[in-house]
Amino acid sequence: MSDAFDTVFVRGLKADAVIGVYEWERHIRQTLVIDLEMRFCIRAAAASDALDDTLDYHAVSTRVKEMVEANTLQLIEGLAEAIAATLIAEFGIRWLRLRLAKPGAVPWADDVGVLIERSAQ
């Protein structure tokens, strides 16, 4: 295993979800904003210039968007955990930091949400 500590990131990924604990929230879609920092050694990609050798941030973004749009959970905490576990399992990510924000949930705040860090076992 490499000793490199490279980070691939995605910031401001937006996706609409049915999420929330209030009855009215179960009948609308709300935009969530996701920021990701993912530990992935990019040395092979730097040497080969081949997409197959790196973490494809387009594929990661597409997968996250699919998960958010298909969400049936009420709490963003559960959605954040599900996204993190899926990305680690499907993309070989060693570590990630995921920020999931729900703008507008608290009218007097820009946004609220959770920030989690998870590692591959």
Q: Amino acid letter at 31?
A: T
Give me the tens of pLDDT residue by residue for the chain, a chain 121 residues long. 456 689 999 999 999 999 999 999 999 999 999 999 999 999 999 999 999 999 999 999 999 999 999 999 999 999 999 999 999 999 999 999 999 999 989 999 999 999 999 999 8
User: Is residue 34 within 8 Å of 76, Cβ to Cβ?
Assistant: no
CATH code of the region 7-119: 3.30.1130.10
**Catalytic residue numbers, as ranges:** 102
Distance separating alpha carbons of residues 40 and 56, to the nearest angstrom:
10
Residue 3: predicted pLDDT: 61
User: Is residue 34 within 8 Å of 113, Cβ to Cβ?
Assistant: no
Residue 104: predicted pLDDT: 87
pTM of the entire structure? 0.93
